[in-house]
Structures are given as C-alpha cells and as structure tokens.
Amino acid sequence: MEFESNSSNWEGVYYYPHLFGGIMVTAALLGLSTSYFGGMMGFPTLPYMLPYLTNLQKKKGGKKRIRVYMDGCFDLMHYGHANALRQAKALGDELVVGLVSDEEIITNKGPPVLSMEERLALVSGLKWVDEVIANAPYEITEEFMKRLFNEHKIDYIIHGDDPCLLPDGSDAYALAKKAGRYKQIKRTEGVSSTDIVGRILASIDDKKECEKAFEKSKHASNFLPTSRRIVQFSNAKGPGPNARVVYIDGAFDLFHAGHVEILKSARQLGDFLLVGIYTDEIVSEQRGAHFPLMHLHERSLSVLSCRYVDEVIIGAPCHITKDMITTFNISLVVHGTVSEGNSSLNGKLDLDPYSVPKSMGIFKMLDSPKNITTTSVAQRIKANHEIYEKRNAKKEASEKKFYEERKYISGD
C-alpha cells in the first residue's frame, strides 16, 4: 500500500522532535533502514508513524480553532443581519463582530437610528456571536487589519456579496482581498435597513392617504420565508422532561435592545424560554393599521436569532389558555412593564389575556430593563424624516442597481 503524504503529518515531527530524533538515531546506530522496523514486532515503518505523531500533537493542543471577523453598522438590526452572521459563523469556529462607531457611520452613511449601546446589545444578543469589537472602523485599513490578525488572531475577514464602497468609491475590503484573507457570503434578500426606514417613513401621519399607500406598497416586504431558513435559525431542541418552561409573548416588531434585555431577564427565570409571537392581525388591532412594520415570519426569525430564546410559537394567540399551558408544559408566564398600548383591553378587564395564568398563580410582571419601544424607535426616524428620506433615496438607488446586476450565488 502506497503511503500518501500529508503536510499535517509533519506537524508531529515539529511538535515532537525528540521522539522523531530518537527513532532516527536508533535506526542509524543499528545500521538499519526505517523499513526494518516493519519486520520486528509488528512495528510500523516511519511513514506510517507520522499520522500517529500528528495525533499526539492534536491530543495535546487540539485542532486550531478558526476565527472569523465580520463588521457592520447593524443599525435597525433585522433577520438579514442575523443571517449574515450565521453564515459567517459557519465559515469558522469563533465569530468576532466589529461594530462600526457612530462617528464612522455618520461620515460614511449618515446618522444612525440606534446608539452604540443599543446596537451593542443587539449584536451581543445573537446566538452566533462570540466576541464584539466596539467602535470598529468602517474601512479595513492596513493598520486595523494587522491588529485583527495579530491581537485578535483572526484568520479570515467576511463580507456579503453586495458591494461596500467608501465615499471615494473604493472597495472597503480591498486590502483583505489582496492579503488572501477574505471570504464572501450571500446577502439575505428581501430586507435591508434602508427598506425598514422606508416602511417607517411611509407611515408618517401628515402624508396623504394615496401617498401612504404608494410608499407602503413600494416598501412591502419581499421576504420569501422557507422551512429551511426557519430550521437554520432554530435550536432544534425541546425542553427536558423536568425543565422549567418560561413563556413570554408579544409583537416583537422592529426587534430592538429592549426586546433583547427582557428576553434575557425572562430566560434567567427558568431552563427553557418559549416566546409567543402575535399574528400581523393582532398587532394591527392593538397598535393601528401601520403596524406591524415587520411581518410575522420576519419577526419570528429575529426572535429566533436571540441567544436567550429556545423556541417560538409563530402566530401565538393573544389570550393564554389552560390548554396552551398544558400543551407546552409552561411553568411561568411573564410580561414586561414596558410594552406598546393594547387597544383591545381598554375598559375590558374581563378580556385580560393573562387571566388564566394569573388564576393559576404562575404569572409574573418583569421590570423592563430599557424604556425603548418599537414606536419610540420609529419616532426617531419620523422626527428627522427629511434627513432619512434623503439618505434613503441614495441608498435605494444603489440597492436597485445591485439587484438588477446580481447573479445567483450558491450557499447560504
């Protein structure tokens, strides 16, 4: 049988020179070739020992973990961002995310909607993220690239197949590509921060109804949900037989830092966090015709991407029933102190959606760590709508060009 050489085999020689040297010296003193060992006591010839030496090295130090880096603004965090980071994580073992500073975003793209603190909470809350570098530069400069390779031990820099250009029109990742340390992932179609801003701007009250209808149709979601995408985001694990299942429900529209923090608090109260996500109809009834800004499947993926969530009910009922509690073996139902208004409850206390768990003694109000809401985020954009309309006009043109010129890329 012919031996097939493998460069990794020689790592054993590198890490165990004394063992290798001892074998060679013994062979030399005896005046024997290495093949002689094959006829004595079943001892393998030297080439066949190399995999053994490699195994010794692997057992001692283990396989080198591949560290990948992906950066971004991650403003108005959505499931497209989450899917990008999921794909990036699949290209390595550890994912380090660079969060671009507010100042760099203003210079290159215009004012961000969310603060650094809010964006940091969102990115850190994703199940695929291992580390976050705050205030990362928008451009991968030679100095920063060296820092990534030397200090953070990054093996590859990742970005989507959509172009990322600097104000002068140059490629922000040109140096990483030149260094041969760049890998590309597939952009998630059907959503972007620009699109979400457009949906919010379309709902501004002082616009005429016909204008609103046109804007809303122009920014309607193009996301095509598939079972495969849901599986990719899912933990694919149910609760253990004696697990304490905690249930929390809501719209979770325009997923924000307040959502992450309340989900974290809820998860700490049990072993398994089940999240009920209201239908689009329920959200519209509670908050008005302009809501939800994100439809049911978009909201479901955003919640599933959160590291504190174990499972979701897609299209959960507003009222929690005894049968539902039994079916999912729910031990505790929680609700945050900060939430959007519920018009269906005004003056109708008998329609309290939590009356059943309250009567069973398994309901708890949680202090919401943050005061941020979907409406308050939308108001930031509406208050500065002229700035965002101007920014969106430019971004929409570049996105339209991207979709017109794009080609099929396999893998996601």
Residues 224, 323: Cα–Cα separation, whole Å: 32
In angstroms, the Cα distances linking 152 to 62, 97, 107, 129, 325 are 19, 11, 26, 15, 46
The helix/strand/coil state of 186 is: coil
Write down the pLDDT at residue 62: 75
The pLDDT value recorded for residue 7 is 39
pLDDT at 123: 98
What's the CA gap between 335 and 209, in Å, rounded? 35
Cite the beta strand spans of 227-325 per DSSP E. 245-250, 272-278, 311-316
What is the structure's pLDDT at 396? Answer: 58
202 Rama class: left (phi>0) / alpha (psi -120 to 50) / beta: alpha
Q: Which of 237, 229, 247, 225 is nearest to 316 (CA)?
A: 247
State the pLDDT at residue 392: 63
Confidence at residue 406, expressed as pLDDT on a 0 to 100 scale: 59
Predicted local confidence at residue 244, as pLDDT: 98
| Tally of CA atoms within 13 A in the half-sphere of 236 that contains its CB | 7
Res 39: pLDDT: 41
What pLDDT shows up at residue 31? 46
Under DSSP, the state recorded for 9 is G
Phi, then psi, of 322 in degrees rounded to 5: -65, -40
Starting at the earlier edge strand, list the strands of the sheet with 311-316: 311-316, 272-278, 245-250, 330-336, 363-366
Question: What CA–CA distance (Å, rounded) separates 162 from 182?
Answer: 14
Per-residue pLDDT of the chain (412 residues; tens, 9 = 90+): 333 334 344 344 444 444 445 544 444 444 444 343 344 434 343 443 333 444 444 444 578 999 999 999 999 999 999 999 999 999 999 999 999 999 999 988 888 999 999 999 999 999 999 999 999 998 889 999 999 999 999 999 999 987 777 778 888 899 999 999 999 999 887 778 888 888 898 877 544 544 444 344 444 566 778 999 999 999 989 999 999 999 999 999 999 999 999 999 999 999 999 999 999 999 999 998 889 999 999 999 999 999 999 999 999 999 999 999 999 999 999 999 998 865 444 444 458 999 999 999 999 999 999 999 999 999 999 988 888 787 666 665 555 555 566 565 566 6
> Do the beta carbons of residue 177 and residue 145 sit within 8 Å?
no
Q: Are 188 and 229 in contact (CB under 8 A)?
A: no
Specify the 3-state DSSP secondary structure of 292: coil
Asked whether 258 and 251 are in contact (CB, 8 A), the reply is no
Q: Which tokens belong to 123? A: 């990115």
Instruction: Tell me how far CA of residue 104 lies from CA of 100, 139, 387, in angstroms.
Output: 6, 9, 17
Query: How far apart (Å, rounded) are the C-alpha atoms in residues 149 and 61?
Result: 20
At residue 398, the pLDDT reads 58
CA 278 to the chain's CA centroid = 22
Among the listed residues 118, 126, 139, the one whose alpha carbon sits nearest the alpha carbon of residue 95: 126
